[in-house]
Structure 1
């Protein structure tokens, strides 16, 4: 069995369907929890699956530095190493090199950089990125690109986009023929429609199994991001998955799904869980606030996660304020459950042709805000 994508229903520009892989189907629109260093922080893999996740994301940059892709390969690959038997997508490492590494030097060949862990020197090229991701054994591999910085004038954006397209061709060549594994190309071009169109045309000519929209969620704000998404997804092949990289605020996801995006990833639900923030249908809730210390009610009524089934807001407030590990565990589990519930709601609404009503209800509930404090 190979890699395929089937759209089962549409509502406007939104689509729902499934990506089929040898390790299982990925229902779309899909949200991918981020397992940076072969773990979704504060979660067991089986717990992540219980939230409804079909696929995880792993970080090439972090794994190549520690414990190294060669060590993971020798131990049976990333799936076995982290005890996750369903699909894994790995990013190319380019974004982390640009945002985390020091003493970077960007050339046509690739990027030379110093590790943020121990200062060791490394060279990451399209060919090396493909080799690392092959050693990890990920199901969906991302081509190596430069994430265009924000803000970027047209000249800077064009130079970055054209470099990424040359790297995309080298990534395709280095990836080779790997049945059952998919390679995604990444569209760049910042906020310039003509550059986005040119990037999409070059990627189509190379040929990929899926296509990502890169260079967004880097500080441009939602209004400008949505302006780009009003045209960028439509520039990519209709019959392939479209992945908006690094986007994870619930209202950003909803707006992007309306505009034809199929896949998302973000550290937000897990990172928020470790800082005392719970995501609910009524928006984010800060459990550190004193208003919760005597509240016997659950974080979110009707939620199926353990935090809401078995514990009160008062307890969550207590363990978070006390820096107890269970606080991070419970809130992360809740947040990932909320995100997967949101994705299921979007899939159901698209299938039923009621996406407009779903989105209106989504925004109305968020505008109501959190429940009143307990008396």
Structure 2
């Protein structure tokens, strides 16, 4: 049986390219993980997600525990079989959603009690229960249960939150146990305070994990503050383990984070944008709701090989979005995910060739050109 492992194949500055190996397949890094919140990447068939180049997707512990329930998914053969995705799955711990979605939550040393946003039922989520749910789901990469520190937070609040997360990380590690072929990632916290990030990293290293995430960013601090943290935060984590920046992000966020040594990403942006009429392209974001597209026979991106760009015009995409046809979400989501995976492949190739700076310069230059001029 393939054990979980990570190999760096090439570096360019702080950036790395390599492979995470799991029993369910390899994950090429830097990797972008499409978000399959409720056991589906919205508007996509699993085989089409794979066709975009995705090696791994993300599932959501909070949503799946509430509906349809982790025990039910386990009885039905686990999350991979349930959603027809046989490649690796990472599940988050549920901590972020409890903070952002749940009503009437109460947090203490043991964990969080909260009311479901679905039906108002009461639930408790602890490090032990989060590990149990993720075991029932059968995910390949399990995330520690943590508190996502709100932003902005003063240093004392951030410190208290981080230290609670580190105690929960130790409990998560103990509850996870020994599960060959499955990995547990610890989550670095500490908001925008370097000394807290250093303390968090030391605590996580002492516990020992298969991979490490950088949490508590992309929560409203802005790109400049995020990059300021990423200038040092990845380097505080072990070099021989994958580094995952949670909830990021926009294409330029990802490119900047890869330059700073991050290996894995997830974000709802490409799928959510696809459902709201926004396409993400080499030239930046294109809003298909705008009337300028209604008579435009050109493809969304003439350089893109996805089915949306090969087979449909901007005029058609404008029409089906305005008419609220389901195909609009399908085509734009497919395009956006294809674009993200093409970007990741470009980053991997550039790092391997030692030409990342040139790739990044070209990336920014193309975006600065803006969309095709109107006809």
Q: Same fold (TM over 0.5)?
A: yes
Residue in structure 2 matched with residue 106 of structure 1 by the alignment:
107
Residue in structure 1 matched with residue 189 of structure 2 by the alignment:
188
Q: Number of residues paired by the alignment?
A: 374
The 5 Å alignment of 1:13-32 reads 13-32=14-33
Residue in structure 2 matched with residue 205 of structure 1 by the alignment:
206
Give TM-score scaled by structure 2 length. 1.00
Distance in 2 (alpha carbons) for counterparts of 1:86 and 1:164: 29
Distance in 1 (alpha carbons) for counterparts of 2:84 and 2:260: 35
- Report deviation, 1:261: 0.1
Distance in 1 (alpha carbons) for counterparts of 2:301 and 2:83: 30
* SS, match of residue 152 in structure 1: coil
* SS, match of residue 35 in structure 2: strand
Q: Any gaps of 5 or more consecutive residues in structure 2?
A: none
- Report deviation, 1:302: 2.1
- Report deviation, 1:63: 0.1
Distance in 2 (alpha carbons) for counterparts of 1:123 and 1:81: 25
Distance in 2 (alpha carbons) for counterparts of 1:259 and 1:305: 29
Residue in structure 1 matched with residue 224 of structure 2 by the alignment:
223
The 5 Å alignment of 1:1-375 reads 1-374=2-375
* SS, match of residue 35 in structure 1: coil
Give TM-score scaled by structure 1 length. 1.00
Distance in 2 (alpha carbons) for counterparts of 1:8 and 1:56: 22
Q: Deviations over 1:238-271 (max 9, x none)?
A: 0000000001100000000000000000000000
Greater mean deviation of Cα atoms: 299-308 or 9-18: 299-308
Root-mean-square deviation (CA, aligned residues, Å) is 0.3
Distance in 1 (alpha carbons) for counterparts of 2:271 and 2:241: 28
Distance in 2 (alpha carbons) for counterparts of 1:312 and 1:371: 13
Q: Deviations over 1:137-168 (max 9, x none)?
A: 00000000000000000000000000000000
Distance in 1 (alpha carbons) for counterparts of 2:303 and 2:49: 19
Distance in 2 (alpha carbons) for counterparts of 1:168 and 1:156: 18
Distance in 1 (alpha carbons) for counterparts of 2:286 and 2:223: 21
Q: Deviations over 1:111-161 (max 9, x none)?
A: 000000000000000000000000000000000000000000000000000
Q: Deviations over 1:199-258 (max 9, x none)?
A: 000000000000000000000000000000000000000000000000110000000000
Moved over 3 A (4+): none
* SS, match of residue 216 in structure 2: coil
Distance in 2 (alpha carbons) for counterparts of 1:259 and 1:236: 12
